């Protein structure tokens, strides 16, 4: 059984421990009962196990065994109470986590796992997408966005712009440190997705100066200022365009003669690709010129022989388009859904439920829980890519949900020396847990 030295659970958990031991503790020293490491690591464990009441279970286990799984598997020396954990996480500056995302990407690079994500000669597809992960009319904090309704009722929300490295042929996504869409001190104007995306890309380019990206995104991104920044930073783009957002270009394309290429895919669907190069993005005399591609799919009903044509989309890009690469470029543009389907959907609906259960806080709690959830998701994506023990256990339990339910039961009931001992119990039903010392 292969065990990647730099990418197994213990190595990834250790990287978080190292970061926390080095970080400055933002709490008042006189009011602290638990170490900064133990407080944040416990939050990570809650997200990893997808269990809001983890601490209660583990404190009870300490009563039975004298220690618990937070100690053995997550190296938490003293299990904090929920309030101490939330209070500590609320005060942490979210940016302390940024180096960990970079650290994990570097580990993937070092172990040759990132190479398979290269889309075009050394370039990686990087979808950008905004998402809301908290919304309330009652609960708010100083970072909340405010949206007043017509009747004056304010909705408070938290949103981020998320970037992730994806590949059309690989299910796992590699998330990068997100950027919060939030009102910074002193600004009255509400922040927006595109400004947050600009800040995010500056940070990503700084963390990964040697990586070249093909940024993808919806038509919100397909405008001159963001495109110019993209090109100036040495990246490329594949953005969706919409008639409502691109009136001048849409009008030109109606009269234009496109090159065409047709293919039948593995499922027997007919795909029609069309493209045209060097078209003006806007009606300005000095408009940026972009290459345009579009795709539609025709399927035939086997019984009735009726055909249905579905329009897949229109995209703009700076990359040259030709007969040989059009299908690939369209698959790259369409892969931006992976961030929605694999990343956001998993975080919101597959047991993590990032906006529930864990409280809102008054400062950074909400965003920090999002980040810790994303880090837990990231470690699982890595395990899904290259951890045999995890994959074998995962397969045994058929669905993701039943796997995590089973893990939770074992984690809260039995004591194990390590995460891999728990996985062994789950996979082979061998009793790898530690028996309690006989008392009396
Ligand atoms: Zn808030």
The pLDDT tens digits of the residues spanning 28-59 come to 888 899 999 999 999 999 999 988 889 999 99
pLDDT at 214: 98
Looking at per-residue confidence, does 152 or 261 come out higher?
A: 261
Going by C-alpha positions, the residue among 83, 88, 102 that lies closest to residue 23 is 88
CA of 126 to the centre of ligand 1 (A): 28
CA of 339 to the centre of ligand 1 (A): 24
CA of 136 to the centre of ligand 1 (A): 9
Going by C-alpha positions, the residue among 368, 398, 290 that lies closest to residue 96 is 368
As residues whose CB is below 5 A from the ion ligand 1, the structure lists 141, 144, 366
- Checking if the pLDDT of 398 tops 50, the result is yes
CA of 152 to the centre of ligand 1 (A): 19
CA of 52 to the centre of ligand 1 (A): 19
CA of 169 to the centre of ligand 1 (A): 37
CA of 182 to the centre of ligand 1 (A): 9
pLDDT tens sequence across 323-356: 999 999 999 999 988 888 887 887 777 655 665 5
pLDDT at 314: 98
Mean pLDDT for the stretch of residues 230-253: 97
Contacts made by residues 63-67, CB under 8 angstroms, sequence distance 24+: 64/436, 65/415, 65/434, 65/436, 65/437, 66/436, 66/437, 67/415
CA of 135 to the centre of ligand 1 (A): 8
pLDDT tens sequence across 85-133: 999 999 999 999 999 999 999 999 999 999 999 999 899 999 999 999 8
d(CA 436, CA 61): 10
The predicted model scores a pTM of: 0.94
Instruction: Find the angle CA(109)-CA(110)-CA(116) to the nearest 5 degrees.
Output: 40
Q: Any idea of the CA torsion for 273, 231, 175, 35, to the nearest 10 degrees?
A: -170
- Checking if the pLDDT of 357 tops 80, the result is no
d(CA 87, CA 80): 11
CA of 191 to the centre of ligand 1 (A): 14
CA of 325 to the centre of ligand 1 (A): 45
Site of tokens 């995104």: 217
């Amino acid at each position: 059984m292969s065990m990647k030295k730099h990418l197994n659970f213990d190595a990834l958990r250790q990287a978080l421990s190292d970061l926390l031991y080095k970080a400055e503790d933002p709490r008042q020293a006189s009011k602290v009962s638990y170490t900064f490491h133990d407080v944040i690591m416990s939050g990570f464990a809650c997200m990893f196990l997808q269990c809001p009441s983890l601490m209660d279970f583990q404190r009870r286990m300490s009563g039975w065994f004298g220690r618990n799984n937070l100690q053995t598997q997550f190296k938490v020396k003293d299990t904090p109470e929920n309030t101490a954990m939330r209070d500590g996480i609320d005060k942490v500056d979210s940016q302390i986590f940024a180096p960990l995302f970079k650290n994990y990407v570097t580990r993937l690079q070092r172990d040759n796992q990132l190479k398979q994500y290269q889309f075009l000669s050394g370039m990686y597809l990087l979808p950008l997408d905004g998402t809301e992960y908290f919304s309330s009319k009652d609960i708010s904090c100083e970072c909340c966005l405010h949206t007043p309704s017509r009747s004056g009722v304010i909705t408070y929300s938290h949103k981020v712009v998320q970037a992730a490295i994806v590949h059309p042929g690989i299910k796992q996504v590699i998330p990068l440190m997100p950027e919060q869409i939030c009102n910074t001190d002193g600004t009255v104007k509400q922040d927006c997705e595109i400004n947050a995306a600009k800040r995010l890309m500056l940070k990503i380019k700084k963390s990964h100066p040697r990586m070249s990206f093909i940024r993808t995104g919806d038509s919100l991104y397909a405008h001159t200022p963001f495109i110019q920044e993209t090109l100036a930073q040495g990246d490329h783009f594949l953005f969706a365009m919409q008639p409502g957002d691109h009136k001048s270009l849409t009008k030109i394309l109606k009269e234009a003669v496109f090159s065409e290429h047709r293919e039948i895919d593995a499922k027997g669907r007919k795909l029609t690709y069309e493209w045209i190069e060097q078209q003006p993005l806007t009606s300005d005399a000095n408009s940026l010129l972009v290459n345009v591609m579009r795709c539609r799919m025709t399927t035939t009903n086997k019984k009735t022989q009726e055909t249905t044509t579905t329009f897949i989309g229109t995209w703009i890009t700076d990359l040259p388009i030709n007969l040989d690469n059009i299908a690939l470029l369209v698959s790259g543009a369409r892969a931006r859904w992976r961030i929605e389907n694999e990343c956001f959907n998993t975080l919101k609906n597959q047991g993590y439920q990032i906006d529930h259960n864990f409280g809102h806080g008054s400062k950074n709690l909400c965003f920090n829980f999002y980040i810790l959830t994303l880090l837990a998701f990231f470690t699982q994506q890595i395990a899904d890519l290259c951890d045999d023990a995890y994959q074998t256990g995962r397969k045994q339990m058929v669905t993701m949900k039943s796997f995590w339910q089973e893990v939770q039961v074992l984690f809260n009931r039995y004591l194990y020396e390590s995460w891999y001992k728990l996985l062994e119990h789950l996979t082979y039903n061998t009793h790898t847990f530690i028996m309690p010392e006989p008392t009396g």
